[in-house]
Amino acid sequence: MDMQLVAEGFEFPEGPIAMNDGSVILTEIKAGRLTRVHPDGRKETVVETGGGPNGAAIGPDGAIYITNNGGSFTWPTQDGLTIPGPTPDTHKGGYIQRFDLATGELKTLYDSCDGRPFVGPNDLVFDKQGGFWFSDHGASTPDGRRFGALYYAKIDGSHVSRQRDHLIAPNGVGLSPDEKTVYLADTQLGRLWAFDVVEPGVLAPPQGFAPGRSICNLPGVQFLDSLAVEASGKVCVATILNGGITAFDPNGTVEHYPVPDFITTNICFGGPDMKTAWITASSTGKLYKTTWPRPGLKLNFNA
Protein backbone atom coordinates (compact mmCIF):
# COMPACT_ATOMS: atom_id res chain seq x y z
CA MET A 1 0.00 0.00 0.00
CA ASP A 2 1.44 3.37 -1.05
CA MET A 3 1.91 5.69 1.95
CA GLN A 4 2.20 9.41 1.23
CA LEU A 5 3.78 11.59 3.92
CA VAL A 6 1.48 14.58 4.51
CA ALA A 7 3.31 16.35 7.35
CA GLU A 8 5.81 15.65 10.12
CA GLY A 9 7.33 17.21 13.23
CA PHE A 10 4.36 16.42 15.49
CA GLU A 11 4.69 15.61 19.18
CA PHE A 12 3.01 12.22 19.33
CA PRO A 13 0.04 12.77 16.96
CA GLU A 14 -3.29 10.98 17.50
CA GLY A 15 -7.05 11.53 17.10
CA PRO A 16 -7.22 12.58 13.41
CA ILE A 17 -10.47 14.10 12.09
CA ALA A 18 -10.98 14.36 8.32
CA MET A 19 -12.66 17.76 7.97
CA ASN A 20 -15.09 18.83 5.25
CA ASP A 21 -12.62 21.32 3.77
CA GLY A 22 -10.02 18.61 3.11
CA SER A 23 -7.85 19.43 6.11
CA VAL A 24 -7.17 17.09 9.01
CA ILE A 25 -7.32 18.14 12.65
CA LEU A 26 -5.31 15.93 14.98
CA THR A 27 -4.21 15.89 18.59
CA GLU A 28 -0.61 16.16 19.75
CA ILE A 29 -0.63 14.33 23.05
CA LYS A 30 2.85 15.28 24.22
CA ALA A 31 2.44 18.94 23.22
CA GLY A 32 -1.06 19.36 24.70
CA ARG A 33 -2.67 20.86 21.61
CA LEU A 34 -4.86 20.32 18.56
CA THR A 35 -3.33 21.05 15.16
CA ARG A 36 -4.89 21.53 11.74
CA VAL A 37 -3.00 20.05 8.79
CA HIS A 38 -3.92 21.60 5.44
CA PRO A 39 -3.86 19.54 2.22
CA ASP A 40 -0.51 21.10 1.29
CA GLY A 41 1.01 19.97 4.61
CA ARG A 42 0.90 23.39 6.26
CA LYS A 43 0.23 23.20 10.01
CA GLU A 44 -1.53 25.60 12.35
CA THR A 45 -2.44 25.35 16.02
CA VAL A 46 -6.18 25.06 16.63
CA VAL A 47 -6.15 25.19 20.44
CA GLU A 48 -3.79 24.60 23.35
CA THR A 49 -5.69 22.11 25.50
CA GLY A 50 -3.11 21.31 28.17
CA GLY A 51 -2.95 17.85 29.66
CA GLY A 52 -2.81 15.09 27.08
CA PRO A 53 -5.43 15.41 24.31
CA ASN A 54 -5.81 11.89 22.99
CA GLY A 55 -8.99 11.48 20.94
CA ALA A 56 -11.08 14.09 19.14
CA ALA A 57 -14.38 14.07 17.27
CA ILE A 58 -16.92 16.52 15.85
CA GLY A 59 -20.23 16.60 17.72
CA PRO A 60 -23.72 17.40 16.45
CA ASP A 61 -23.21 21.09 17.31
CA GLY A 62 -20.07 21.36 15.17
CA ALA A 63 -17.76 21.62 18.18
CA ILE A 64 -14.75 19.38 18.78
CA TYR A 65 -15.02 17.03 21.75
CA ILE A 66 -11.72 15.89 23.21
CA THR A 67 -10.84 12.95 25.42
CA ASN A 68 -7.96 14.38 27.45
CA ASN A 69 -5.90 11.94 29.54
CA GLY A 70 -4.68 14.76 31.77
CA GLY A 71 -1.02 14.07 31.03
CA SER A 72 -1.00 10.38 31.92
CA PHE A 73 2.25 9.56 30.12
CA THR A 74 5.91 10.36 30.55
CA TRP A 75 7.85 10.71 27.30
CA PRO A 76 11.17 8.85 27.15
CA THR A 77 13.01 8.71 23.83
CA GLN A 78 14.61 5.67 22.25
CA ASP A 79 16.84 5.89 19.20
CA GLY A 80 15.30 9.28 18.41
CA LEU A 81 11.73 7.98 18.69
CA THR A 82 9.11 9.26 21.14
CA ILE A 83 7.70 6.53 23.38
CA PRO A 84 4.78 6.87 25.83
CA GLY A 85 6.08 5.93 29.27
CA PRO A 86 4.57 5.27 32.72
CA THR A 87 2.15 7.69 34.35
CA PRO A 88 3.96 10.51 36.20
CA ASP A 89 3.40 11.21 39.89
CA THR A 90 1.93 14.61 38.95
CA HIS A 91 -1.02 13.05 37.12
CA LYS A 92 -4.36 13.89 38.77
CA GLY A 93 -6.79 12.40 36.24
CA GLY A 94 -8.30 13.25 32.88
CA TYR A 95 -11.41 14.94 31.51
CA ILE A 96 -13.68 15.53 28.53
CA GLN A 97 -13.28 18.92 26.83
CA ARG A 98 -15.41 20.83 24.34
CA PHE A 99 -13.81 23.29 21.92
CA ASP A 100 -16.03 25.66 19.96
CA LEU A 101 -14.46 26.22 16.54
CA ALA A 102 -16.56 29.35 15.98
CA THR A 103 -15.88 31.19 19.25
CA GLY A 104 -12.60 29.62 20.40
CA GLU A 105 -14.09 28.68 23.77
CA LEU A 106 -12.50 25.66 25.46
CA LYS A 107 -14.23 24.17 28.49
CA THR A 108 -14.22 20.99 30.54
CA LEU A 109 -17.49 19.10 30.15
CA TYR A 110 -16.88 16.13 32.47
CA ASP A 111 -14.10 15.05 34.80
CA SER A 112 -15.85 12.28 36.75
CA CYS A 113 -18.79 9.87 36.79
CA ASP A 114 -20.89 9.25 39.90
CA GLY A 115 -18.28 11.05 41.96
CA ARG A 116 -15.40 8.92 40.71
CA PRO A 117 -12.75 10.89 38.76
CA PHE A 118 -11.71 9.69 35.33
CA VAL A 119 -8.22 8.25 35.03
CA GLY A 120 -7.23 8.80 31.39
CA PRO A 121 -9.98 9.35 28.79
CA ASN A 122 -8.69 8.10 25.46
CA ASP A 123 -11.03 7.84 22.46
CA LEU A 124 -14.64 8.65 21.50
CA VAL A 125 -17.31 8.18 18.86
CA PHE A 126 -20.71 9.86 18.36
CA ASP A 127 -23.91 7.93 17.69
CA LYS A 128 -26.81 9.13 15.53
CA GLN A 129 -28.59 10.51 18.60
CA GLY A 130 -25.70 12.91 19.24
CA GLY A 131 -24.36 11.26 22.37
CA PHE A 132 -20.89 9.78 22.54
CA TRP A 133 -19.20 6.61 23.72
CA PHE A 134 -15.73 7.08 25.17
CA SER A 135 -13.00 4.95 26.65
CA ASP A 136 -10.94 5.58 29.77
CA HIS A 137 -7.59 3.89 29.24
CA GLY A 138 -6.69 3.70 32.93
CA ALA A 139 -3.03 4.18 33.88
CA SER A 140 0.12 2.37 34.88
CA THR A 141 1.37 3.09 38.41
CA PRO A 142 4.32 1.79 40.49
CA ASP A 143 1.80 -0.39 42.33
CA GLY A 144 0.17 -1.84 39.21
CA ARG A 145 -2.45 -1.06 36.61
CA ARG A 146 -5.42 1.21 37.31
CA PHE A 147 -8.36 -0.28 35.43
CA GLY A 148 -10.14 1.54 32.64
CA ALA A 149 -13.81 1.74 31.64
CA LEU A 150 -16.29 2.40 28.84
CA TYR A 151 -18.68 5.37 29.21
CA TYR A 152 -21.56 7.08 27.43
CA ALA A 153 -22.27 10.81 27.71
CA LYS A 154 -24.43 13.63 26.37
CA ILE A 155 -22.96 16.86 25.00
CA ASP A 156 -24.94 19.20 27.27
CA GLY A 157 -23.16 18.00 30.40
CA SER A 158 -26.33 16.45 31.82
CA HIS A 159 -25.46 12.76 31.70
CA VAL A 160 -22.46 10.44 31.84
CA SER A 161 -22.75 6.74 32.69
CA ARG A 162 -20.21 3.97 33.21
CA GLN A 163 -21.34 1.12 30.97
CA ARG A 164 -18.44 -1.29 31.58
CA ASP A 165 -15.92 -1.22 34.39
CA HIS A 166 -12.70 -3.04 35.35
CA LEU A 167 -11.32 -3.22 31.81
CA ILE A 168 -7.56 -3.66 31.46
CA ALA A 169 -6.57 -0.97 28.96
CA PRO A 170 -9.53 0.19 26.83
CA ASN A 171 -8.41 2.33 23.94
CA GLY A 172 -10.03 2.73 20.50
CA VAL A 173 -13.83 2.82 20.39
CA GLY A 174 -16.21 2.67 17.43
CA LEU A 175 -19.72 1.77 16.34
CA SER A 176 -20.92 -0.79 13.82
CA PRO A 177 -22.75 0.69 10.80
CA ASP A 178 -26.14 -0.21 12.33
CA GLU A 179 -24.99 1.11 15.74
CA LYS A 180 -26.09 -2.09 17.45
CA THR A 181 -22.51 -2.87 18.49
CA VAL A 182 -19.80 -0.89 20.27
CA TYR A 183 -16.27 -2.04 19.45
CA LEU A 184 -13.48 -1.48 21.95
CA ALA A 185 -9.79 -2.25 21.46
CA ASP A 186 -7.85 -3.30 24.55
CA THR A 187 -4.22 -2.25 24.23
CA GLN A 188 -2.54 -4.66 26.62
CA LEU A 189 -4.62 -7.70 25.69
CA GLY A 190 -4.32 -7.18 21.94
CA ARG A 191 -8.03 -7.94 21.84
CA LEU A 192 -11.00 -6.39 20.05
CA TRP A 193 -14.14 -6.49 22.21
CA ALA A 194 -17.74 -6.17 20.98
CA PHE A 195 -20.61 -4.99 23.20
CA ASP A 196 -24.29 -5.21 22.27
CA VAL A 197 -26.30 -1.96 22.46
CA VAL A 198 -29.87 -2.42 23.72
CA GLU A 199 -30.82 1.26 23.45
CA PRO A 200 -28.86 4.46 22.81
CA GLY A 201 -26.19 4.77 25.48
CA VAL A 202 -27.01 1.47 27.18
CA LEU A 203 -25.21 -1.86 26.80
CA ALA A 204 -26.73 -5.29 27.31
CA PRO A 205 -25.60 -6.90 30.58
CA PRO A 206 -22.47 -9.06 30.26
CA GLN A 207 -22.98 -12.78 30.00
CA GLY A 208 -20.79 -15.06 32.08
CA PHE A 209 -17.34 -13.93 33.16
CA ALA A 210 -16.40 -11.84 30.11
CA PRO A 211 -17.40 -8.16 29.83
CA GLY A 212 -18.36 -8.62 26.18
CA ARG A 213 -17.80 -10.69 23.04
CA SER A 214 -14.22 -11.26 21.94
CA ILE A 215 -13.87 -10.67 18.19
CA CYS A 216 -10.21 -11.68 18.05
CA ASN A 217 -6.99 -11.77 20.06
CA LEU A 218 -3.87 -10.99 18.05
CA PRO A 219 -1.07 -13.57 18.41
CA GLY A 220 2.22 -12.82 20.13
CA VAL A 221 2.87 -9.36 21.52
CA GLN A 222 0.85 -6.82 19.57
CA PHE A 223 -0.78 -3.82 21.25
CA LEU A 224 -3.96 -2.20 19.96
CA ASP A 225 -4.61 1.53 19.86
CA SER A 226 -7.38 3.65 18.30
CA LEU A 227 -9.66 2.65 15.45
CA ALA A 228 -12.08 3.51 12.66
CA VAL A 229 -14.82 1.40 11.10
CA GLU A 230 -15.28 0.63 7.42
CA ALA A 231 -18.62 0.96 5.63
CA SER A 232 -18.53 -2.84 5.29
CA GLY A 233 -18.33 -3.23 9.07
CA LYS A 234 -14.67 -4.20 9.31
CA VAL A 235 -12.91 -2.54 12.25
CA CYS A 236 -9.52 -0.99 11.43
CA VAL A 237 -7.36 -0.81 14.54
CA ALA A 238 -3.96 0.86 14.78
CA THR A 239 -1.41 -1.71 15.91
CA ILE A 240 1.73 -1.15 17.98
CA LEU A 241 4.99 -3.15 17.74
CA ASN A 242 3.64 -4.82 14.57
CA GLY A 243 3.26 -1.28 13.31
CA GLY A 244 0.33 -0.68 11.01
CA ILE A 245 -3.43 -1.11 10.76
CA THR A 246 -5.13 -4.42 11.49
CA ALA A 247 -8.56 -4.81 9.88
CA PHE A 248 -10.78 -7.10 11.96
CA ASP A 249 -13.80 -8.67 10.31
CA PRO A 250 -16.66 -9.20 12.79
CA ASN A 251 -16.28 -12.93 12.05
CA GLY A 252 -12.82 -12.86 13.68
CA THR A 253 -10.57 -12.92 10.61
CA VAL A 254 -7.88 -10.24 10.27
CA GLU A 255 -5.61 -8.63 7.69
CA HIS A 256 -2.65 -6.38 8.42
CA TYR A 257 -1.50 -3.27 6.53
CA PRO A 258 2.03 -2.13 7.51
CA VAL A 259 2.92 1.48 8.29
CA PRO A 260 6.54 2.71 8.66
CA ASP A 261 6.27 3.34 12.41
CA PHE A 262 6.11 0.66 15.07
CA ILE A 263 3.81 2.91 17.13
CA THR A 264 0.95 3.46 14.69
CA THR A 265 -1.86 4.96 16.75
CA ASN A 266 -4.92 5.90 14.70
CA ILE A 267 -6.72 6.05 11.36
CA CYS A 268 -9.60 8.09 9.96
CA PHE A 269 -11.41 8.05 6.62
CA GLY A 270 -12.49 10.85 4.30
CA GLY A 271 -12.52 12.07 0.73
CA PRO A 272 -15.38 11.96 -1.80
CA ASP A 273 -15.50 8.16 -1.82
CA MET A 274 -14.41 7.69 1.84
CA LYS A 275 -11.40 5.67 0.65
CA THR A 276 -8.74 8.19 1.68
CA ALA A 277 -7.21 7.06 4.98
CA TRP A 278 -5.12 9.32 7.19
CA ILE A 279 -2.86 7.48 9.63
CA THR A 280 -0.93 8.84 12.62
CA ALA A 281 2.60 7.47 13.00
CA SER A 282 3.34 8.65 16.49
CA SER A 283 6.86 7.67 17.52
CA THR A 284 8.21 9.42 14.41
CA GLY A 285 5.69 12.29 14.63
CA LYS A 286 4.25 11.89 11.14
CA LEU A 287 0.88 11.94 9.37
CA TYR A 288 0.44 9.73 6.32
CA LYS A 289 -2.38 9.28 3.87
CA THR A 290 -3.16 6.38 1.57
CA THR A 291 -5.94 4.98 -0.58
CA TRP A 292 -7.71 2.33 1.45
CA PRO A 293 -8.95 -0.78 -0.41
CA ARG A 294 -12.51 -0.26 0.86
CA PRO A 295 -14.54 2.85 1.86
CA GLY A 296 -14.64 3.91 5.47
CA LEU A 297 -17.86 4.49 7.36
CA LYS A 298 -18.93 8.11 7.22
CA LEU A 299 -19.17 9.54 10.72
CA ASN A 300 -22.44 11.02 11.90
CA PHE A 301 -21.13 14.59 12.27
CA ASN A 302 -18.49 16.80 10.68
CA ALA A 303 -17.63 20.47 10.26
What digits encode the pLDDT tens for the residues 17-51?
A: 999 999 999 999 999 999 999 999 999 999 999 99
Is 144's pLDDT higher than 90?
Answer: no
Q: Is 100 annotated as a binding residue?
A: no
Mean pLDDT of the 161-167 span = 97
DSSP line for 206-220 = P-TTSSSEEEEE-SS
Question: Is the Cβ–Cβ distance between 75 and 83 less than 8 Å?
Answer: yes
Which pLDDT tens digit goes with each residue over 200-220? Answer: 999 999 988 999 999 999 999
Task: Report whether pLDDT(142) > 90.
Answer: no
- 225 an active-site residue? yes
Report the percentage of the chain scoring pLDDT > 90. 97
pLDDT band at 149 (very low <50, low <70, confident <90, very high): very high
Cβ contacts of 4 within 8 Å, gap of 6 or more:
288, 289, 290
- pLDDT cut 70: percent of the chain above it: 100
C-beta atoms surrounding 241 within 10 Å: 13
Catalytic residue among 100, 225, 249, 261: 225
Predicted pLDDT of residue 232? 98
The mean per-residue pLDDT over the stretch 268-290 comes to 98
Helix (H), strand (E) counts: the chain:
0, 31
Average pLDDT, the chain: 97
pLDDT at residue 266 is higher than 90: yes
Q: What is the mean pLDDT of residues 233-261?
A: 98
- Kindly report the length of the chain: 303
How high is the pLDDT of residue 302?
97
Instruction: Determine contact, residues 56/65, Cβ cutoff 8 Å.
Output: yes
Quote the pLDDT of residue 118: 98
What is the average per-residue pLDDT within 118-126? 98
47-105 residue pLDDT tens: 999 999 999 999 999 999 999 999 999 999 999 999 999 999 999 999 999 999 999 99
Domains in the chain, start-ordered, CATH in brackets? 3-291 (2.120.10.30)
pLDDT at residue 143, as a whole number: 84
54 is in an annotated binding site: no
Confidence of residue 141 (pLDDT cuts 50, 70, 90): confident
